[in-house]
Amino acid sequence: MGKAWIDNHSVECPVAAASGVELNLVRGKHSGSLRDKSFRFAMPRTELRLLRAFSGLGCLSLLLAGCAQRPAGDAAAPVAFFRVHGTAYGGQQPVSDATIQLYAVGTAGDGSAATPLLTQAVTSDANGEFTLSGYVCPTPSTLVYLTATGGNPGLPNGLTNPQLALMAALGACGGLGPTTTINVNELTTVAAVWPLAPFMSSYSAIGSGSSGATALASAFATAAILANTTTGTVPGLSVPSGTTVPVTQIYTLADALASCINSAGGVAGDGSACGILFAAATPPGGMAPTNVVSAGMDLAKNPTLDSSSLFSLVGGKGPFQPTLTSAPANLAVQLTST
């Protein structure tokens, strides 16, 4: 079994080990040696600083291709990627000190535990920016999503909002790479949570069994139509001809979530923005949610809940405009065709 090192994280390559290979970034090019032969080859500039591989030529080919391919004949081989950059925003302001995690969807049934792909979660900086590195895709087609939890949405220094939770559905892991940018905010959260709600039990438990894999993939495709995770805006890219995205409904729900995101937090019944949101999202006979993503999940699963108190959080000055002029009778987020 060969092994590669990317940002100090090892990646196993399922090919027979041969001789050592060492690659170094030199003015936009990589150079190295394989057995007794020296070589130099051009590659696009990347964030990669040093990569060592101890493997056969098959693993070397995998790495030189940007780690976006699998060895021939091995459909389950893990795939490694370089750095991915992103920003976490609450409304129009950055969220600092948020915990960022990249998850691969679960495979043990609806709402099954997702797999964290970052051995150590990263933290957003003062500008809400973060960088993902050293993760390994189970396969290029594995569906992945990103969460940002906790953090400071503009509160006085030292304070955080423990109920803050944002999410972005990113799709196939193989689609991520050095040029990928992620903007996670309330719009991407609504766009992700509403289609994925049937497959969720929490933000760290999104998945399906083999019989539901096609439906889960379809939900991710819907999320991509609803919002663009590169820009954090709605609608998404490649909206099918004749399809209408409910932009105003999404803005309204996002503003309701933003009222809690951009606060110091709270619990159901305490009169805070988070408290009002969590009380409004509590399922009949169920427990009140304790974070924003869970509140969105409960609203998506129970779209006919009384929305009057939820609508009171929207007002006319929310970060996303325009919004609905009155409380909606149904909180569903659905694409319509003409």
pLDDT in tens, the chain (338 residues): 333 334 333 344 333 333 333 333 333 333 333 333 333 333 333 333 333 332 333 333 333 333 443 434 445 556 655 689 999 999 999 999 999 999 999 999 999 999 999 999 999 999 999 999 989 999 999 999 999 999 999 999 889 999 999 999 999 999 998 899 999 999 999 999 999 999 999 999 999 999 999 999 999 999 999 999 999 999 999 999 999 999 999 999 999 999 999 999 999 999 999 999 999 999 999 999 999 999 999 999 999 999 999 999 998 789 999 999 999 999 999 999 98
What separation in angstroms does the CA of 85 have from each of 36, 131, 177, 181, 230? Answer: 38, 5, 9, 5, 10
Which pLDDT value is given to residue 75? Answer: 52
Cα 203 to Cα 205: distance, rounded to the nearest angstrom: 6
Instruction: Tell me if 46 sits within 8 A of 53, measured CB to CB.
Output: no
Per DSSP bridges, beta strands 205-206 and 99-104 are unpaired
Q: What pTM was computed for the model?
A: 0.80
In this structure, the dihedral spanned by the alpha carbons of residues 232, 170, 144 and 321, taken in order and rounded to 10 degrees, is: 40
C-alpha pair distances (Å), 308 with each of 260, 301, 327, 329: 16, 17, 6, 9
Tokens found for residue 14: 């399922």
Could you count the other beta carbons within 10 Å of the beta carbon of residue 146?
26
Cα–Cα distance, 262 to 270 (Å, whole number): 16
The reported pLDDT for the residue numbered 77 is 53
Torsion sign, CA atoms 276, 166, 145, 137: negative
